[in-house]
Amino acid sequence: MHTYFKYLFIGFWLIFFTNPAFSRLEKQATAKFSFNNGNETDEVSKQKARLVGAYFVDDRFGNPKSAGYLSGHAGSYINLGTYSALKPKIGSISLWVNLTRETYYGKGITHNPIILTKNAPRDDYNEAYAVFFDLITKRICVYMANDSLSSPNVYDMKEFSFMAWHHLVLTYDYHHLSFYVDGRFIGTTPKDFETKFDPLDSVIVGGSANKKNIRYSFGAFDDIEFYDTVLSESEVDALYHAPNPNRNRIILNWILLVLSIMGGIALIYFFVRYRFRMILKREKERLELANKLLENDLRINRALMNPHLIFNALNTLHNYILIKNTDVASDYLVKFSRLIRQILDSNMSDTLSLEMEIELLNRYLEIEDLRFKDSIKHLVLVENVIPSAVTIPIMMVQPFVENAIWHGLRDKEGEKIITISFSLFETAYIKCVIEDNGTGRKIKPNPGKKSLSTGFVKQRLDLLNKIHNLSCNLTITDKPNGTGTIVTLLMPILNK
pLDDT digits (tens, 9 = 90+) for 20-60: 444 456 689 999 999 999 999 999 999 999 999 999 999 99
In degrees and rounded to multiples of 5, residue 385 shows phi and psi of -155, 145
pLDDT digits (tens, 9 = 90+) for 115-142: 999 999 988 899 999 999 999 999 999 9
Determine the pLDDT at residue 210: 84
Label residue 184 by pLDDT band (50, 70, 90). very high
Q: What is the DSSP string of 210-242?
A: -SSSB-B-EEEEEEEEEESSPPPHHHHHHHHTP
**Proportion of the chain above pLDDT 70, given as a percent:** 83
Structural domain boundaries of the chain?
26-242, 281-492
Which stretches of 328-455 are assigned E, i.e. beta strand? 351-353, 376-383, 391-393, 416-425, 429-436
Q: Which CATH class is domain 281-492?
A: alpha beta
Label residue 327 by pLDDT band (50, 70, 90). confident
pLDDT digits (tens, 9 = 90+) for 465-476: 877 788 999 999
Determine the pLDDT at residue 381: 92
Distances (CA, A) of 126 to 110, 116, 130, 147, 196: 16, 10, 10, 8, 10
Of the ranges 145-159, 241-255, 388-402, which one carries the lowest mean pLDDT score? 241-255
Biggest CA pair distance of the chain: 153
Sequence-distant (6+) residues with CB within 8 A of 121 are 198, 200, 201
| Average pLDDT, integer, range 307-315 | 65
Cβ atoms of residues 439 and 445 within 8 Å: no
Give the per-residue SS3 of 115-175: EEEECCCCCCCCEEEEEEEECCCCEEEEECCCECCECCEEECCCCCCCCCCEEEEEEECCC
Q: Rank 162-166, 212-216, 481-485 by mean pLDDT and report only the highest.
A: 162-166
Q: Which of 444, 424, 425, 422 is nearest to 433 (CA)?
A: 422
The dotted CATH code for 26-242 is: 2.60.120.200
Q: Which of 352, 308, 254, 311 is nearest to 452 (CA)?
A: 308
Determine the pLDDT at residue 433: 96
Beta-bridge mates of residue 56? 68
End-to-end CA distance of the chain: 34
Say which residue, 399 or 121, is predicted with more confidence. 121
Q: Which of 475, 398, 481 is nearest to 438 (CA)?
A: 481
Q: Which helix (H) or strand (E) holds 266?
A: helix 247-322
CA-to-CA distance for 261 and 270, rounded, in angstroms? 14
Does residue 264 sit in helix, strand or coil? helix
**Proportion of the chain above pLDDT 90, given as a percent:** 46
Cβ atoms of residues 424 and 490 within 8 Å: no
CA-to-CA distance for 362 and 385, rounded, in angstroms? 18
Sequence-distant (6+) residues with CB within 8 A of 460 are 291, 294, 295, 298, 393, 396
Label residue 293 by pLDDT band (50, 70, 90). low
Q: Is 327 exposed, middle or buried (0-12, 13-18, 19+ CB in 10 A)?
A: exposed
CA-to-CA distance for 283 and 292, rounded, in angstroms? 14
Q: Rank 317-321, 399-403, 441-445, 485-489 by mean pLDDT and report only the highest.
A: 485-489
Cβ atoms of residues 68 and 220 within 8 Å: yes
- 217 pLDDT above the threshold of 80: yes
Of the ranges 76-80, 133-137, 324-328, which one carries the lowest mean pLDDT score? 324-328
Mean of the per-residue pLDDT values for the chain? 84
Say which residue, 97 or 393, is predicted with more confidence. 97
DSSP state of 107: B
- 452 pLDDT above the threshold of 80: no
